[in-house]
Structure 1
Amino acid sequence: MDFTLDTGNTAWMIVATALVLLMTPALAFFYGGMVRTKSVLNMMMMSFITIGTVAVVWVVYAYGLAFNGSSGLLGNFVGSPKGFFGLNGVSDSTSLAASAGVPFLVMVAFQATFAIITVALISGSLADRLKFSTWTVFTVLWVTLVYTPVAHGVWDGGLLGSFSPTPVIDFAGGTVVHINAGAAGLAFALVLGIRKGFGKEPFKPHNLPYVMLGAALLWFGWFGFNAGSEFAADPTAGRAFLNTTVAPAVAMLGWLLVERIRDGHATSLGAASGIVAGLVAITPAAASVDTWGALAIGLIAGIVCAYAVGLKYKFGFDDSLDVVGVHLVGGIVGTILIGFFAHLNEGTTFAPKGALNGLFYGGGGEQLGSQVIGALVAVVYSFVVTLVIVYALKYTMGLRVSEDVEVAGIDFAEHGETAYEEANQR
């Protein structure tokens, strides 16, 4: 394929890449505000170290595993890093967005930010009790063994995308990012075990302004996440941009309505969590539903996720910061609802070749079936392989800090510092 540079599309993708990278520090604030004073630095560092490890792994070999498709059974499962080590001398014609005139290296950087935030999301299930060294090694193993095969399977025509009768619609990462991270967070939390005092004492957020700041910056960065996934500055990106505005807005209203009816209060934590739930749910559908579909997906996700975050108490698993309730459940909701609301007849709407309209737009139930299968495959693969990784780390490096460290506070023991002068007194 001949490559012709499009400076407008390239400029937009550079901006979108910066926006998505911002999401990981934003996640650090969001998660950091939700934990107790004595573990805020550790929680934030789990996001920041992921930038370091995943960015390096991505340019050395992981991009090739995700997006350099090759033939044969192994090639159907992952791509090949051959010719992509260090990413030097690779032709722009091999860019994922070569047809849009976006250079290869820009697309590598954009996809790197997706891999980074996906791994960082998992850390929210593991607050207060995981060795930092174990988490650091886990980030490398997981992005290699779980993220790259799922990304290859859904976005690069690999085996994981071939189980369904029609292509699974995942515009910006409902399966690859959110279901993937949510299932991994559940698997890791089950092996890691509950925090001391879980279910018996409250684990209140120490800084709700941090949580709201994190949610605001996540929303800001998410415009690059969703609209950037069109790989061009065009009407489809505009549709994704608009849907990324309205779905989180109505999801926040839905979550707060649940809180008001159930608890008598509409909380700042609920507002922030509702925004994130809406962002998660609209991610796979951002350019494949109309405005009514975006409003419906956002409202349903806000209500469902508001109830789903309580599942950890019912079933006894310690998903510390609701990765399962928001990202796994929200990702499943958004992915499956595409089967009802997909509206692919608009000239500005993106969908994989062969995808169909949703049930409510005359497409029958075929696309719905594909969306269910896609969600199920992502859950099973991520959960099972994450279990293998976590058990391997458990019997080599060990997973948990000591009980004394957990009680005193993980920040000082793992990092030699505290966020606040009085933190070691709490």
Structure 2
Amino acid sequence: MTIGASITKPTPRSGAFGPATHLACRECGHRTELGPHYACTECFGPLEVGYDFGTVTREQIESGPRSIWRYRSLLPVPDDVATFPNTDPGFTRLVKADNLARELGMRSLWVKDDSGNPTHSFKDRVVAVALAAARELGFTVLACPSTGNLANAVAAASARAGIRGVVFIPSNLEQAKVLTSAVYGGALVAVDGNYDDVNKLASEIAGEEPDWAFVNVNVRPYYAEGSKTLGYEIAEQLGWRLPEQVVIPVASGSQLTKVDKAFGELGELGLVEPTPYKVFGAQATGCSPVAAAYKSGHDVVRPVKPDTIAKSLAIGNPADGPYVLDVTRRTGGSVEDVSEDEIRDGIALLARTEGIFAETAGGVTVATLKKLLATGQLDPDSETVVLNTGDGLKTLDAIADRVGPTVTIPPSYDAFVATGIA
């Protein structure tokens, strides 16, 4: 299939994409009608959903369900989207992290904890929106290439929707993520290679299988919009205001750019005061092509071969890398990277201070927050939100050799007293 070519599908019903009106190229601005398109026919640039929102009020949003569908008037989904079987993700907790703030010397810190989603990562958000688009576009198979969390979300969503699911993963993925994809009963294909190899294969299959919706390939413009709901929720949960600083993990980079898009949309619609904010990106040093580009002052992100325990961030050729650079530079933020030991320390620090067990991506974000403070890039007196995008139970191996029983004793009171714990 030619890049950017259309896939012949049934005409979507009226209002199938809610307020969405078109797809626009992020490079040249060329507009395309709504449909199963993902690359510009003029320049091969990536496509993004454009909207005509009309009037949206806080009251309309607050009267909606406690899921991402409360923001359906801001997403490319029909008004009745919540009536179709889906995992209903979103509206996860925003935790006031006073203990962590105190330890780091910060005035005000929040953790947006997305481990509470149905498959315990933020990927449930993007998959739910992609599923809605796939249904309207007449696809019969829901699929994805994944570093793990997306595989979990697609497998669960396809099971819930009653459609066929096929997910592709690197063969060296964490066992917990393999099991929590396979349990839903769809096809799970392990590929010998890294994520970029898996993604390339998925793109080839998408071009040959017209009934397959690869959520992050041929319906990517819709899928990506699901990440906006993180930004919407943060603002609403803060009392309809924007934080001054936000730290976001970077894999493909889409999440960071969409949170920024959400903040901008809320300001334009008058739902929040459009106050300034800084966006910071967090990467693992073993896969840090965007951080490297930022630090060197480059606009082009050079691909790397991933080598990190943070496998959910191990995308060596991030599709949205250049746009991450645009957002962080425009807002006055930056992109930083942290070592494997710093990642493990970040996981332990968040767990010890706030009782939140993050997966390795969360460890990257917390460690990056600490590093940004130490290097003076982040203001400790400004209200800050950090994102935990997944559950630590998915990446137990990362901390397995660091935690365990404090002591092992015989079953006697004297032995307990001898430990000095009492």
Same fold (TM over 0.5): no
Q: Which protein has greater RCO, CA pairs closer than 8 Å, 6+ apart?
A: 1
The TM-score with structure 1 as length reference comes to: 0.27
Give the number of the structure whose residues are more often strand, by fraction. Answer: 2
The TM-score with structure 2 as length reference comes to: 0.27
Give the number of the structure whose residues are more often helix, by fraction. Answer: 1
